[in-house]
Amino acid sequence: MDSVFDALAHPTRRRILEMLRQGAMSAGDLANAFPVSKPTMSAHFAKLKAAGLVQAESRGTSLIYTLNLSVVEEALMGFMGRLNLGASKEDGQ
């Protein structure tokens, strides 16, 4: 879970995830949305992939990124569980 929160710590990576909520996008289209260099964007993509938050698929000469919702859900549920935010009053917690 640490790698997920490390990946979420940067605003550019959070914005990439927001953009991917709308659907799959190419690395080039994502990169064009930010005023940073391609190597910087590659580092952001690598951090998101390492955390399992996104998946990349080669299509021709493009890399297509998609959001991995199961990892996002798992991280949020784990975080909520650590704070006892997901427990109901009937559970006695």
Domains of the chain, by residue range, sit at 2-85
Strands 62-67 and 25-26: antiparallel
pLDDT for 93? 46
pLDDT for 86? 58
Give domain 2-85's CATH number out of 3.90.1150.10, 1.10.287.3510, 1.10.10.10, 3.40.50.2000: 1.10.10.10
For the CA atoms of the chain, what is the radius of gyration? 16
Instruction: List the chain pLDDT tens, one digit each, 93 residues.
Output: 788 889 989 999 999 999 999 999 999 999 999 999 999 999 999 999 999 999 999 999 999 999 998 887 787 777 777 777 755 544 444
Rounded to two decimals, the pTM is 0.79
